[in-house]
Amino acid sequence: MVYTVTFNPAIDYVVHTGEMKLGSTNRSDREEMYFGGKGINVSIVLRELDIQSKALGFTAGFTGEAIENGLAEMGIDTDFVHLKKGNSRINVKIKSAEETELNGQGPDIDDEAVNKLFAKLDKLQDGDTLILAGSIPASLPSDIYEKILERLAHKNIRTVVDATKDLLLNVLKYKPFLIKPNNHELGEMFGVTLTNDEEIEKYARKLKEMGAVNVLISMAGDGAMLIDENGEIHRCGVCNGKVKNSVGAGDSMVAGFTAGILQGDYEYALKLGTAAGGATAFSDGLAQKEKIAELLETL
């Protein structure tokens, strides 16, 4: 079974506007809402790839209820811990000449709620896959992902972590099966700006030396690089298409790669990840089955 964990689910409120003037009243041309947060996005795209997962995490208030109902309507299995206070966040994504995002902080998560999540995770079994994805609310310490991996270390669970900074660095000693920072996040973790392929490879290998089994670096329109468990490097360019939306492209890549590795080798997983990432970049909302299949054929 595949489980995703989203500590900080969100309603993604996507606003399209011709021009955006800071300090003025702007009017949108159209709006859309999606139920998101990184782990949830991974669950949604996994379902497009015929892999049923269970989405875990925390929801709160009326927005949390809307997220759960929306996911249920989409056929996504969920088992969220319900927080007693606050509301799940609404993340604003403004699409004008450029994409601007304003992600919320999210509700506080207390120890009792964290322990409820731990109890659910304790039921995972050998052979399961666990995907931890996205930011955590400020009320939680940055070793929370580490604590989860530590709890599960005695079981044979394939772990995937899509996070940044300390949240990611802290888990490396537990040898996550896959991590997927993008090239900017990779540089940020080492306090450097990465300007070419050689530098990106050098720092990706550092993450591997620090414990990650497979390191996948996504580079938006420049494709992706994988350093696999044997230290071999694989590269994949991007699919061709008109970019509509980059929100969730990375989550789609994580879903595609995870589905790919359950069905084939690293080359195939990288291609399926690339096709899923591209399918999201070329769609309003997340990747759909037919688009992923069409793009996979081109790689």
Ligand X SMILES: O=P(O)(O)OC[C@@]1(O)O[C@H](CO)[C@@H](O)[C@@H]1O
Ligand Y SMILES: Nc1ncnc2c1ncn2[C@@H]1O[C@H](COP(=O)(O)OP(=O)(O)OP(=O)(O)O)[C@@H](O)[C@H]1O
Q: Are strands 178-179 and 214-218 parallel, antiparallel or unpaired?
A: parallel
Q: Say whether residue 94 binds ligand Y (CB under 6 A).
A: no
Q: Say whether residue 274 binds ligand Y (CB under 6 A).
A: yes
The piece of 62-70, 111-119, 193-201, 218-226 that touches ligand Y (CB under 6 A) is 218-226
Site residue total, ligand X (CB under 6 A):
15
Phi and psi dihedrals of 131, rounded to 5? -115, 115
2 binds, among ligand X, ligand Y, none (CB under 5 to 8 A by kind): none
Query: Catalytic annotation on 50?
Result: no
Q: Say whether residue 283 binds ligand Y (CB under 6 A).
A: no
CB of 73 to ligand Y, least distance (A): 23
Q: How many CB atoms lie within 10 A of CB 94?
A: 17
The piece of 34-42, 71-79, 181-189, 190-198 that touches ligand X (CB under 6 A) is 34-42
- In whole angstroms, give the CA distance from residue 38 to residue 163: 9
x-or-dash string of contact with ligand Y, 161-190, rule CB under 6 A: ---------------------x--------
- In whole angstroms, give the CA distance from residue 134 to residue 184: 16
Phi and psi dihedrals of 128, rounded to 5? -75, 160
Which residues 96-125 are close enough to bind ligand X by CB under 6 A?
103
Rounded to whole angstroms, what are the CA distances from 160 to 77, 88, 132, 149, 172?
19, 24, 6, 10, 11
> Which is the catalytic residue, given 29, 122, 251, 265?
251
Q: Say whether residue 106 binds ligand Y (CB under 6 A).
A: no
Q: Are strands 99-102 and 129-133 parallel, antiparallel or unpaired?
A: unpaired
